[in-house]
Structure 1
Amino acid sequence: MTARVRTTLAAACAVALSAALAAPAVAAPAVHGHDATDRALRAAVADGVPGVTATARTDRRTWSRTAGVGDLRTGEPRSERDRYRVGSITKTFVATVLLQLEAEGRLSLDDTVGRWLPGVVEGHGHDGDRITLRRLLNHTSGVYDYTSDEGFVRDHFGRDGFAEHRYDTLTPRQLVAIATAHEPAFAPGARWEYSNTNYVLAGMVIEEATGRPYAEEVRRRIVGPLKLRATSLPGTRTGLPQPSSRAYSKLGGTATDPTYDVTRLNPSMAGSAGEMISDSADLNRFYTALFRGGLLPAEQLAEMTTTVPALPGASYGLGLIRRDLDCGVTVWGHAGGIHGSSSEAVTTRDGRHALALNFNGDWSGDSQAVIEAEFCGD
C-alpha cells in the first residue's frame, strides 16, 4: 500500500502541512491574475490526477478553473460546481461547533473527555479523565488513530477489503473501540500527532452537550446560516449529490496499477473526522466567514488560531492548519482526503483571499504547488 493511499483518511492533512511556523500572519499581496494557478492545475493532471476543480475568492471576485476529466469512461470534464468528499476539512466545522458551545457557556475546552463521555476512552492505557477537549481538537491527546489499525487498513484501504467492506456502517463507538484496543501513541500533551479518533470523540461530545447528533448541529449552526447549499453530511448515504464527478483510487497499488472507481462508499468509516461533502465555493464561503468573525466571537477565534508545532514547518490550531508560503504569505485552513478525493481549502487570516480545490484521484498531484501558485504567483 502506497504512502499516498494510506494517508487518504488516516493523515491526509499531514501531506499538506508545510511551511508554517510561528511567524505573524501577513496580508496577501495584490492579485494580478491566476495564470500560475492555472498552470499548476494543468501540471497536476499531467502528473496523473484524473481531474481537478478549483475556485479562488478575492474580496467579492471569484475565479474558477477545471482541468482533466470527471469521468474516465466517458471523458466528461470536471465542473466548477462539482460536489466532492472533503475528508478532514470536516474537522474545522466540528471544531467551530465546539467553540460555539464554549462561547455559549455549555462546555469548556478544558473539560475532560471523561466528564462528557464517561467510560468511552479507556483500556490499554487510555484514560479519558486525563484528556481535555482542547487536546482532541489540536491532536495532542495521544489517543490512538483508529485508521492506523492493521485490520481497518486491510478492510477499508486495500483492493479486496474495500470491495467487501465499502458499504459497511460503522458507529462512532465502534471506531473508538478500534482505537482503544491499542495503547495510546503518547501521554496526553507530550507531543502532536494526527489522530482521526480525536474528532470522532469531538462529534460524540457535541451530541452529549446538545442532545442532537453532531451533523444536525453543523447544519443548524453553520450550513444553514451561511446558505452552504452544496454542503451536506451524508451519514451512511453512499452516493454523491449532483453535480459531481467520479472518484478514483489505486487502492494500495502504485501509479501504474489499475485505477478503481470508488465514488460510492459508506462514509460512516470517517464520521465526524471526515464525512462531509461540499464544493469549492461553499468551502471558500465557510473559511471567509470564519476568519471574518461571522461564526465565532473573538476570544474563541483566538483559541482556534493558537497553534502547536506539528510536522516540520507546520503548526496546528483547533481544527486548523497554519502554513507560511514561500513568498511570506500565511494561509489557514485544512486538507482533506478520503478514497478517491484529495481536497484543500485555505484563506488568508483576514479572509480576503481564499482558495478551495479538489483532485478526484488520491494517488498523485501536488496541492501545495497549487496553493503556492495562487497566493504567490502571477
Structure 2
Amino acid sequence: MTDVGPVPPNSAQPVPASYLTLRGIRKSFGRECVLDGLNLDVSEGEYLVVLGPSGCGKSTLLQIIAGLVRPDSGDVKLASRSLDRVSPKDRDVSILFQDDRLYPHWNLRKNLELACDRSPVKKHQSGDPVLELAQRLNIGGLLQRRPDEISGGQLRRAALAKALLRQPAVCLLDEPFAAIDTMMREDLISLLADFPRERGGGCSQTSVVHVTHDGEEAMRLADRIVVLGGGRVLQSGTPDDIYRKPQSLDVAKAIGTPPANMIAGNQVRAMLADRYDQLVQALPGCHDSSTFIVRPEHIRLALQTDVSDRDGDICDGQWRLAATVLSSRFVAGRWLASISVDADRELVLTVSSPLEIGPAGRHVIAHVSLADIVCVPG
C-alpha cells in the first residue's frame, strides 16, 4: 500500500465533499489504448466497485486518480477541484496496490501509525485505532514484526489496515483480497461492508473505489457497480440492476457464479419453430440477432413423466425444454448440472438447484420463467 498524501497542512478547511469526477480520461501505453474517453462519477461516501477482466484498465484508472499516472487527456476533480496540477502527496487519497507496499525496515505498528499520523481526522480519533483495526484483521499479535517476518496473507491485511486507517477523502483498493485465504476473505468482506466511512470533524465521508475481476465480490460490497470494457464504461448500476438487467454480453458475463447461459436467437428460433413468435412477443426487443441470457439458478428441472411432454412449449409464462442430464455434482450446498437440450444436442445449459438433480442420462424438463430471461444485442 502506498499512501499518496494527506490534505496539505496549510489547508484552513477540510475538503467540503469527497465526490470524485472523471471526464474524458484517455490513456495509452504505446499503441495500446487502455482507457478511451472514460467518464466516471463517485458520490461522497459511496462504495463503488469497478468490475472487469484483467487488462481492461482498472489499475490504470486507480493510478490516474491517485496522480501516479498522468492521463493523455481528460480531467480528474475531487470536490469540484481539478487535480491536474496537484501532486500525489497532496491529494487526499490512499491506494492499496496489488503488490503490498509497506516500509520494510519498520514494524507493522510503525507502518500503521504513519497512516494515522497523516490522517486529516487524526485529532478526532480516540483509543488505539491501530490495535483495534489490527485485531479486527487478526494481526493484532503481529504489530512488532517487520513485513518480511509475516506471511503474504498477513501482509495483505496489514496493507489494507494502512489504507483504512488513513481515512482519506478517497480510498482506492486494487484487488484487495489477493493472496487471502477463503476464511479470511469472508472476514475482510464483512469488514469492508460494515466499515464506517464517517471521518468526523466536519470532514466529508470517505468514498471507496474498489477494482476487481470477481463478480461475486462486487455484488457483495458495492453500492454501485461499474463494468469496464474496451477502456469505457459498459454499464453502471446497482448490483441488482447489473445482475437482472445486463445491457450487453460482456456485462452479463461479468456477474454470476456459475456463469449465465447464453443462447443465440437463431438457435431459439430453430428449437421453437412456429412457437418462436409467441416467445418474442413476451420479450419485447428480442429478435434473431439477440442473445438470450438465462441464469443457471433460474432453471427448474422436473422429470419427464408424460410422453406428451413437448419440447419448447411456451405456457403460463414458462418456457419448457426437454433435456437430458449429462452430469451433476454437489457444490457448496447446491447441485450443479449440465443438461443437453433434446431439440439441439449441441446446446448445453448449466443448472444450479438446491434440489438433487439425479444421475447422468435422466430425462428432464427444464422450466424457465419468461420473466427471468433477458435479451441483449448478439
* TM-score normalised per structure 2: 0.26
Q: Which has the higher contact order (CA 8 A, sep 6+)?
A: 1
* TM-score normalised per structure 1: 0.26
Structure with more of its chain in strand, by fraction:
2
Structure with more of its chain in helix, by fraction:
1
Higher Cα Rg, which structure: 2
